[in-house]
Amino acid sequence: MATQAAPDIGYIHALGRPALPVAVPLLALALLLYWINPVGYVGGGGDDWQYLIASECWAAHGACLPHDHWWARWPLVAPMAAAIAVFGEGRTALALVPLLYSATVLLLLARIVERVAGRTPALVAGCALLLTPIFAIQLARPNIDHPELAFLLAALLGWIEAVRSGQRRWALLLGAGLAFAMLARETSAVFVAGAGIAFLCAAPAQKRVLVWAAPAFALPLAAEMLAYFVATGDPFYRLRLAFGHTRIPSTELASWVDTSRSAFFNPEFIAGWRAANGIEAHWTVKPVVNLVTHAEIGLTLLAAPLLLAATPRKVAAAGTGRSLLPALLVLTAGAGLVFTYALGLDPKPRMFLPLAAAASAVVGVATVALWRERRRLVPAAIALFFIPSALLCFAGTPGISRAERQAALWLQEAGPLVTTNETARRHLAMVPAARALPVDDESRPLRLAILWEGCTVDGESGASVIRRASLQAGEWAPVAWLRARSIGLHPEAGPWLCLMRRAAPGAR
């Protein structure tokens, strides 16, 4: 006779006391990671600079008409503007909204897995996502990836609860979640299409409930289109900005790519994006190879299918709804392929956070299932490799806050003599004196720069480095110890803050 698996009564329980909510340890771990390495705003060539200046405009003038696709992402920009208006411009204000979205992602993922498989798998799934470096690095950094994922997870929770309970309010959450995910970033249209296909395949009784998602989806989109029609006469103004994003100059795209052509199904774009992990290969496999080998996300993506393959079929199928998670893994992987090969988007790890979330959910369910079946070798081996590697990648990711403090000190002494370049000015946007520096002013003898491969003068005859500061100083002690011994980290990795004396006019 087959034995019935013991119910999951929680990971912390004792003599009638209720189990500790999953949210408590997950949020505690998130705060610990933030304390270890609060990357936050980085700027430079990153998207967070775009969100900063858009938020400043909103804070100063109210809703600003976007002039590119970054400014159009108001589900991030609007609350960031509110934070700046309330708390003033600084790292605290810029970190607040990303932290709230990150916490929302964790809580929604845990809730979904808990509804499907129980508390303990939910805890493991949340920890797996938190220990996926690309998620942890952006905990407090302005980004659109976490808001989009939060809305997608809200939509998924709405679907699950609507099907289970038959209540229309959950269908409304489904529709609103998909709508706001679209308003955050247009790539969510792929998931909207997936939801539409799933709706067509649903049972008639489920359709009668899920159909209420339609008005909740349509109303927010219609309201934005009406606002753009009033402001510009073009209800599709946002889409025009989105489709034109590939024409914006980018150092991530090879110069030989013809950006006047559409990126859709265009092998030039697929091949032309800089390899995320530095592995050059044929365009048909280059994005996938770089993704699964990337330290910021690859381990999570590989762990999920390995654990799933090791889980006996009867165990994997146990429990109502558990088959949903592998299906989500396939759906998000398919969406990633559409992003990369159909839309021609830059295949950086952050674009695949929905896939990482689905993989984390599978990791949580499969790990707990294998452990309870006493098949512990595979999950233990993966954990022993996964956890140290993930922590090292995350903790070794450099930030800019130390550069800001050092730059402020140097500029107190030599401010009138210093110029900078646009990239450094964006890096140092939180330092008023640095942001006010003239860019590429040939009349000033000193140049302030942030460089990632050490301070150099680029072969300029007569130029010299007069001050340099490695911004590794003060990083987490275990990471500094490993870096000094070249264990998993390059000892000279940036960033470096450099103050250089320019060549005198006429020097050879």
pLDDT of 320 reads 44
- Size of the chain, expressed as the number of residues it contains: 508
Which residues in 417-506 belong to E strands, given as ranges? 418-420, 446-451, 464-470, 496-501
Q: pLDDT for 192-235, tens place per residue?
A: 999 999 999 999 999 999 999 999 999 999 999 999 999 999 99
pLDDT of residue 329: 87
Which of 118-122, 397-401, 423-427 has the least mean pLDDT?
A: 397-401
Rounded CA-CA distance 146/139 in Å is 8
Instruction: Give the pLDDT of residue 3.
Output: 40
Distance between CA atoms of residues 50 and 65, nearest Å = 14
Question: Confidence class of residue 15 from pLDDT cuts 50, 70 and 90?
Answer: very low
Helix, strand, coil percent content, the chain, rounded in steps of 5 = 60, 5, 35
Inform me whether the pLDDT recorded for 9 exceeds 50.
no
DSSP string, 39-61: -----TTSHHHHHHHHHHHHHHH
**6 pLDDT tier (thresholds 50, 70, 90):** very low
Side-chain-facing half-sphere of 68: CA atoms under 13 Å? 11
Identify the band that residue 383 occupies on the pLDDT scale cut at 50, 70 and 90. Answer: very high
Give 315: exposed, middle or buried? Use CB within 10 Å, 0-12, 13-18, 19+: middle
Query: Structure pTM?
Result: 0.91
Q: Answer yes or no: are the C-beta atoms of 471 and 497 closer than 8 Å.
A: yes
Please compute the mean of the pLDDT values over residues 136-153 and round it to a whole number: 96
Is the model's pLDDT at 31 over the cut of 80?
Answer: yes
Asked if pLDDT for residue 12 goes beyond 50, the answer is no
pLDDT single digits (tens) 322-372: 567 788 888 899 999 998 999 888 899 999 999 999 999 999 999 999 998
CA–CA separation, 472 vs 110, rounded Å? Answer: 34
Measured in degrees and rounded to the nearest 5, phi and psi for residue 446 equal -115, 145
